[in-house]
């Protein structure tokens, strides 16, 4: 059991999630687009699509790991989910998109 004074705060957990999950996903999408435009400007839509798939794959695999990391450090699971949805880090429970999160084997 983690003492209350050592528990990870929700703000820090959400900030870490944005830095470790969403920021790299957006960077993957944008990098794919920029590289694609440099290679073949007329196929920008193809490279954007590839970037979107790669970025979503990153997100899908990173969110469960981030959530497990935060919970192991004592973050309140209900507040973590609530604020992760509010800030756009994750989708609401039960949504079609939330189901794209990779399942981790513990």
**Dihedral angle over CA of 26, 85, 14, 56, nearest 10:** -30
Which of 3-12, 14-23, 64-73 is least confident? 3-12
32-57, pLDDT tens digit by residue? 999 999 999 999 999 999 999 999 99
102: left (phi over 0), alpha (psi -120 to 50) or beta: beta
pTM score of the predicted model: 0.88
| Cα distance between residue 71 and residue 90, in whole Å | 15
83: CB partners within 8 A, 6+ apart: 10, 14
Q: What percent of the chain has pLDDT over 70?
A: 99
Is residue 87 scored above 90 in pLDDT?
Answer: yes
Is there a contact between 104 and 65 (Cβ–Cβ < 8 Å)?
Answer: yes
Angle between helices 77-86 and 10-17 (to 10 degrees): 50
Mean pLDDT for the stretch of residues 60-88? 96
């Amino acid at each position: 059991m983690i003492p209350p004074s050592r528990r990870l705060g929700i703000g820090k957990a959400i900030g870490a999630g944005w830095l470790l999950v969403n920021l790299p996903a957006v960077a993957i999408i944008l990098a794919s687009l920029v590289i694609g435009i440099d290679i073949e400007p007329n196929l920008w839509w193809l490279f954007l699509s590839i970037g979107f798939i790669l970025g979503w794959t990153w997100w899908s695999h990173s969110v469960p790991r981030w959530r497990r990391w935060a919970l192991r450090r004592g973050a309140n699971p209900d507040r973590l989910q609530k604020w992760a949805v509010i800030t756009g880090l994750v989708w609401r429970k039960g949504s079609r998109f939330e189901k794209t999160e990779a399942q981790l084997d513990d």
